[in-house]
Structure 1
Amino acid sequence: MFKTLSTLPKTVWLIGLISFVNDSASEMLYPLMPLYLASVLMAGPKAIGIIEGIAEATSSLFKLVSGVIVDRTKKTKPWIVFGYLLAGIGRPLIAFANSWLVVLMIRFTDRLGKGLRSSPRDALLAESVPANQRGITFGLHRSMDNAGAVVGPILAAFLLAQHVPLREIFFWAIIPGVITVMLALCLKEPPRVAGDDAPLKFTWSMAGLPPEFKRYILVVGLFALSNSSDMFLLLRARELGVPQEQIPLLWATISLITTVFGTPLSALSDRFSRRYFIAIAWAAYALIYAGMSYSNLTVGWLFGLFALYGLFKAATEGVEKALVADLAPSGLTGTAFGWFNLSSGIMLLPASLIFGWLYESSSPTTAFLFSGACSAFAVLLLIFWVYRPIKEKT
């Protein structure tokens, strides 16, 4: 694995560094959002569901838009730079919010930036390496991204321990935001294959994508219905007795586990079938949410479930994207990632709305059991419907 890492092109490492710096800012604020909304702006779980659902749905829609445009224009860098610029501008503005509706507008801008940069970035990664290095490439990227998600919450916990007000902490995000944009300006477009520069007709359909990919995308959407905002996990942890100052550290622990195991697990998928990783990880997710539904869950078991959640993320974040690259035909990589990102993200709107409504109107137990049931059904479809055609070809 280490030998393969040393041969990866500079573009892969630069994109990883950009994600590391950007996530240091993003994840410094993310675990504080439910605390900020609840204690400062007096917003409840329903408001969190609306904010995160709309924000992530916006991100997902523009991931498809940017992916299709990239395949037609053959340009990735402008979208990546502009996407990080929007995020860098938007995040610090949360400090000025005086209602959850203002936070919603700011999160909308932040996620718009993510939507514009994600598919072009994924396409650039896929086109920078051969097929037998896609797993380790996307795994490395996700590991470096999650390394930033370790640093960010630790910084947040340190600032909270120093009794820095929540509003002031949001100002700190402007520094890594500037650094991120400067690094993104250093990216270079990948060399194009002869004849690959011909302009393509704009289309927003899945025309030209294989049947296996279309089935995979549908099931990814179903699984996403169970995958509501992670803010609910942090809210649950706080309600079960985890002190406020330890919430960012708990989130950092998840990111640390994902960072450590993301690259080796994704690299392993380059040697063995990626489908096994995804199916097993999705099944583990169903068990995690079933465990989180338990009303008498102790803090010790809670930390164990959070650790398992980190392993779930490590086994899926890079591998799922590597499978998309495997299934995407030449010239449609951006479109394939656009549809994957749309399918996995657009369902976060109903997922977060339903979860927030169940959490507040019924109980946390009902909300977590609903998500666990959806994910379990997605696993069955993945095994018995999506993967059967793939197996017949191998």
Structure 2
Amino acid sequence: MMKTAEQGSTTTAAGDSPAGTRHGTGWRAIPGGIWALGFVSMLMDISSEMIHALLPIYMVTVLGTSVLAVGLIEGIAEATASITKVFSGALSDRLGKRKLLAALGYGLAALTKPIFPLAMTLDWLTGARFIDRVGKGIRGAPRDALVADITPAPLRGAAFGLRQTLDTFGAFLGPLLAIGLMWLTANHFQTVFWIAVIPAFLSIGVLLLFVRDPKHAQAPRRVRAPLSRRELARLGPAYWWVVGVGTIFTLARFSEAFLILRGQAAGLAPMWTPAVLVVMGLAFSLSAYPAGALSDRVGRMAVLGTGLILLVAADLVLAFAPGLGGLTAGVVLWGLHMGFTQGIFAALIADSAPAELRGTAFGMFNLLTGLALLLASVIAGGLWDIGGYQTTFLAGAGFAALTLPGLLVLRAKLPTVRHPA
């Protein structure tokens, strides 16, 4: 039996702590495997963001790519990752081997990093971005399911928040390093891309040495066909409401590449445009763990609703506030909205899905939100080319506002829904 995500989960499925079991509180109570996974994510994000913070500007200013093409490439890349996640998540449920698939995904991403400094045409960069996102797709759902597997239910929000905090620390440290290296190398993109290879391979080492699949007290129900209609139905109504709300929400939060381009529109030189991601990542990192821990105490919906309001505010500020001050305020609000939503959605998935189908649950969620991100990024790029950045961010605010009714329905649905037998 399971309490609702709004009330705090006490799931007794295989791999979870029994209801009523006492656990410590605070970050010291979070299992060591979560810390290790956080550092794995952090190192890979340092590598990825050193490259991605410069890639949109490199594509537009050096290769002459249109903003619409940037949006299309970013959207396809992220959608590719999301589509891959549903199959890797389902395979992790069938095999019961979360770490193996996570290692495969991180390893593939690391091996593709040298392609970026070697690529001299848009085709090569697009291919490298595509393969890199395949690696992300392979690792994403098994890793998130592994976080849920090894974390006691009362600490889920905090655990997902901590992993997100460490991940996002890398997301702002990467662009910060990119800025310093661009200054040291006199804007030599390829040198920065080569240095970004190093933390990617360090990430693999941490994963292989310090992360283990949990040993369940009892074997979970064997899942032979995770993507069959019967198994998908077992995910339950609460889970599908979470997916629906998350998909609509994703239409409002297009690729962060548009934040970089907004920085360029505000007058930032190419060397300084990664500062946009530094500021966003800092706000994201500092808010993710507190928001996750707060959701364990006051409920997921209250925190998620706050994140929605922050996103609307970020869009409006980025659309209308002038100068670098307006840019900074909007980017900070954007980072805070990420901190108040991304880990919370992950915790909601873990709360609402049966333990033996968690990989599939995370995979389906990422598939549908990834397709929404593709659509959002293409729309955002087209609107930017037609009407400028104000049109893009106003549209984002409108999509965010559409999510509010879904949150109200989800809040009402969760307290009465139970897993199917």
Shorter-chain TM-score: what band?
A: over 0.9
Determine the C-alpha separation between the residues in 1 that align with 2:358 and 2:417. 21
Give the letter for the 1:308 counterpart. Answer: L
Determine the C-alpha separation between the residues in 1 that align with 2:221 and 2:97. 10
State the shift of 1:83 in Å: 0.5
State the shift of 1:46 in Å: 1.2
Which residue of structure 2 aligns with residue 143 of structure 1? 165
TM-score after normalising by structure 1 = 0.95
Which residue of structure 2 aligns with residue 194 of structure 1? 218
Which residue of structure 1 aligns with residue 284 of structure 2? 258
Q: Which runs of 5+ in 2 are unaligned?
A: 1-22
Secondary structure of 2:341's counterpart equals: helix
Determine the C-alpha separation between the residues in 1 that align with 2:166 and 2:97. 24
Determine the C-alpha separation between the residues in 2 that align with 1:305 and 1:199. 45
Secondary structure of 2:233's counterpart equals: coil
Are residues 1:357 and 2:389 paired? Answer: no
- Which of 254, 266, 272 pairs up with 1:246? 272
Identical pairs, percent: 33
Which residue of structure 1 aligns with residue 199 of structure 2? 176
State the shift of 1:117 in Å: 0.2
Secondary structure of 1:226's counterpart equals: coil
CA contact (8 A) 2:149 2:355 kept: no
CA contact (8 A) 1:91 1:107 kept: no
Determine the C-alpha separation between the residues in 2 that align with 1:278 and 1:240. 30
Determine the C-alpha separation between the residues in 2 that align with 1:201 and 1:230. 36
* Structure 1 segment 157-176 matched on structure 2, within 5 A: 157-162=179-184, 163-176=186-199
Are residues 1:273 and 2:299 paired? Answer: yes
Q: CA RMSD in A?
A: 1.9
Give the letter for the 2:213 counterpart. Answer: E
Give the letter for the 2:162 counterpart. Answer: L
**C-alpha deviations, 1:16-36, integer Å up to 9, x for none?**
111111111111122111111
Are residues 1:185 and 2:213 paired? Answer: no
Determine the C-alpha separation between the residues in 1 that align with 2:187 and 2:270. 13
Figure out how many residues of one structure are paired with residues of the other and give that number.
392
CA contact (8 A) 1:237 1:302 kept: yes
Deviates more, 1:59-68 or 1:1-10: 1-10
- Which of 42, 64, 88 pairs up with 2:64? 42
- Which of 81, 85, 91 pairs up with 2:103? 81
CA contact (8 A) 2:222 2:356 kept: no
The runs of at least 4 consecutive aligned structure 1 residues that moved more than 4 Å come to: 391-394
State the shift of 1:166 in Å: 0.9
CA contact (8 A) 2:221 2:356 kept: no
Deviates more, 1:190-199 or 1:205-214: 190-199
**C-alpha deviations, 1:149-188, integer Å up to 9, x for none?**
2221111111111114012211112111211112221221
CA contact (8 A) 2:113 2:196 kept: yes
CA contact (8 A) 1:57 1:348 kept: yes
Which residue of structure 1 aligns with residue 354 of structure 2? 329
State the shift of 1:100 in Å: 2.1
Determine the C-alpha separation between the residues in 2 that align with 1:2 and 1:357. 50
CA contact (8 A) 1:24 1:152 kept: yes
Secondary structure of 2:222's counterpart equals: coil
Determine the C-alpha separation between the residues in 1 that align with 2:276 and 2:318. 15
Are residues 1:102 and 2:124 paired? Answer: yes
State the shift of 1:195 in Å: 3.2
